A = this chain, B = another copy of it.
Amino acid sequence: MTYCVGLLLNEGMVCLSDTRTNAGLDNIATYRKMFHFVDEGERVITIMTAGSLSVTQTTIARLREAVDDADATEATSIMKAPTLLKVASIIGETLAAVRLEVNEKLSAAQASASASMIMAGQRKGGAMRLFLIYPEGNFIEATEDTPFLQIGEHKYGKPILDRVVKPNTSLADAEKAVLLSMDSTLRSNLSVGMPLDLCIIERDACKVSRTRRIEPGDAAFRAMSEGWSKALRDGFLQITL
């Protein structure tokens, strides 16, 4: 499995993904699940993926090919599409088409593959937008009421987001929130694993303002994780029934 989370805040967007993939418990590997498409100052698009690797890799590869194609048009390239809604639509159509092709191959084995994606993006002069794209190609968008979207193993890390994340949360607090959300997921579910990929997209920058890869031995992450454990234990002790 996977855990990816995206936040849409007044100050910008924050994305975090793990890197564990597995075909059965005895076949575990590390793959990047966060992909950036950037025309600095003009357009930034970050895509995170969950689900069958054969589907997500092919989808990302096709999106990239369409962008690099000499004949790329507004209808085919997510870097030329006139709106982010259209970007979400191109991603959704590509994902759904790849999924159908892969499932046709798998049908003989009575197996099936699926995938979903989160897309965070902004065009120059436009608003920041955050979408969750379903395996069928349809999608939903984050709003003020629901400023975060998750894919994969989303349940363990949802309580902290439910309590902490609001549109006016600062980017620093947001980074902390998604890392703690991931920390809870890592502790409780083996199918989600380090290293982690984090990115911050500041409002109106139209670029990836900062990326951070967190390796298993990352001292800062470990300190944060231990600090949170201690805070939870201390908080727990203070609670009276």
Interface residues of A (CB under 8 A from B): 153, 155-156, 158-160, 162-164, 172-173, 175-177, 179-180, 184, 187-189, 220, 223-224, 227-229, 231-236, 238-241
Q: Are B233 and A180 in contact (CB under 8 A)?
A: no
Copies of this chain, complex-wide, total: 2
Contacts of A177 in B (CB 8 A): 236
Contacts of A163 in B (CB 8 A): 187, 229, 232-233
Q: Please pick, from B180, B187, B188, B239, the residue contacting A224 in the complex, using a CB distance under 8 A.
A: B239
**A55 to B: closest C-beta gap in Å:** 24
Seed contacts A162-B188, A176-B241, A177-B236; 12 additional CB < 8 Å A-B pairs: A159-B184, A159-B187, A159-B188, A163-B187, A163-B232, A163-B233, A164-B236, A224-B239, A228-B235, A231-B238, A232-B235, A234-B235
Q: 6 interchain pairs (CB within 8 A)?
A: A159-B187, A163-B187, A173-B236, A177-B236, A223-B240, A231-B236
**A173 to B: closest C-beta gap in Å:** 8
Q: Which 8 A-B pairs have the closest CB atoms?
A: A231-B235, A155-B155, A159-B184, A158-B188, A227-B239, A155-B156, A159-B188, A235-B235
